[in-house]
Amino acid sequence: MSETDRSYGLLTQTSGIEETRNPSLQRHLPAQAALDWLKAGWRDLMVRPGLSIAYGVAVFTVTLFLAWSLFASGRDYILFPAIAGYLIVAPVLAIGLYEKSRALEAGDNPTLRTMLLVRPRAGAQIFYTGLLLCLLMLLWNRAAVLVYALFFGVRPFPGLDGIVAMLLTTPVGWAMLVVGTLVGGLFAAFGFAISVFSIPMLLDRRTDALTAMGTSMAMVWNNLTPTIAWGTVVMALFAASAMTGFLGLIVIFPLLGHATWHAYRAMR
C-alpha cells in the first residue's frame, strides 16, 4: 500500500458504492428537513452577514462575466445549457460558505480571509472533484448541442428570442423541449448526487475524491425524500435568481451554501 493510499484510506475505506446498502446512512428524515436546513442556513448568513453577501457578490460578478463571455464569443446558443450546468459546479464554488458554517458550528470566528483561503482536510481531492464536475458540465453542454442538432439539423441558431419562440410554438420545439429536459434531468440528477455532500465532506474529512462522491451518492440514495426535497428547493431558488438577471444570487447563493452544510451534517 502506497503512502498516498494510507493517507487517504483508498484501500481501507468502505466505498460509496458499498455504502448504498448501508442502513446506517438512512436518517429517516421527512421532506420538511429541507426547510429546516434552509432556516439554519439563514441563521448562518445573518451572523456577520457582510461576509456571506460579499461572497455572493463575487459569485454574481463571475456569473455575469461568464454570461457576457458566451455572448461576446458568439456562443449564446449554449446559454441555457450553461445556466443549467452551473448547478453542477456550484457546490465547489460554495466551499467558502461551508467553511463559515463549519467555523460557526465549531465556535470559531469566521473571516473573509478564512473563507477565501480555505484549507480543507482533503484539499487536492477537492481540486480533482472540481475537475470531474467541470467535465460533467462540458459533457452536458455537448449533449445539449447534439439534442438541438437532432431536431433542427444544421440550421443556424436563431438567437435567444427565436429559440424560445420555436420551443414554445412548434411541435418540433415541444419535442426538443421534452427530450432536452429528460437528458438535462439525468445530468442534473447525477451531478447533484455526486457533489451535494462530497464537497462538504472533503472540507470536513480526510478522504479521497472518488470515495467522497460515492458516499454522497449513497447518502442521497438512502435518503431520497429529504434530498429530493432539497434538490427541488435548490432548483426553485436558482430559477428565481436567474429571473432577476442573477442579481438574486447575491443572497440566494450564500443561503444555499450555508444550508447545504447543515444538510451534510444532518446526513452524517
CA 185/CA 191 separation, integer angstroms: 10
Q: What is the pLDDT of residue 1?
A: 42
This prediction has a pTM of 0.85
- Between 113 and 153, name the one with better pLDDT: 113
Going by pLDDT thresholds of 50, 70 and 90, the confidence category of residue 3 is very low
Q: What is the mean predicted confidence (pLDDT) over 137-155?
A: 86
* Angle (nearest 5°) at CA 95 between 214 and 200: 35
The DSSP code for 48 is S
Cα-based distances in Å from 244 to 41, 77, 105, 168, 259: 21, 20, 32, 21, 21
- Residue 236 pLDDT class (50, 70, 90 cuts): very high
Residue 5 has pLDDT above 50, yes or no: no
Q: How confident is the model at residue 22 (pLDDT cuts 50, 70, 90)?
A: low
User: Which conformational region is residue 119 in: left (phi greater than 0), alpha (psi within -120 to 50 degrees), or beta?
Assistant: beta
Query: Is a pLDDT exceeding 60 seen at residue 171?
Result: yes
- Residues 49-60 have pLDDT tens digits of 999 999 999 999
Q: Residue 6 above 60 pLDDT? A: no
Q: How far apart are CA 119 and CA 206, in angstroms?
A: 12
Number of neighbours of residue 123 by Cβ within 10 angstroms: 12
Q: What average pLDDT does range 68-76 have in this prediction?
A: 82
Q: Kindly tell me if the per-residue pLDDT of 10 is higher than 60.
A: no
- For the stretch 89-105, pLDDT in tens is 899 999 999 999 999 99
Grid cell of 83 as nine digits? 445556466
Greatest Cα pair distance, the chain, in angstroms, is 61
Q: For position 20, what pLDDT does the model report? A: 52
Q: pLDDT tens digits for 37-48? A: 999 999 999 999
Gyration radius of the chain over CA positions: 19
**pLDDT, average across residues 242-256:** 94
DSSP for residue 158: -
Say if residue 161's pLDDT is above 80: no
- What nine digits make up the cell of 12? 481501507
Higher pLDDT, 247 or 160: 247
Name which residue leads in pLDDT, 73 or 25. 73
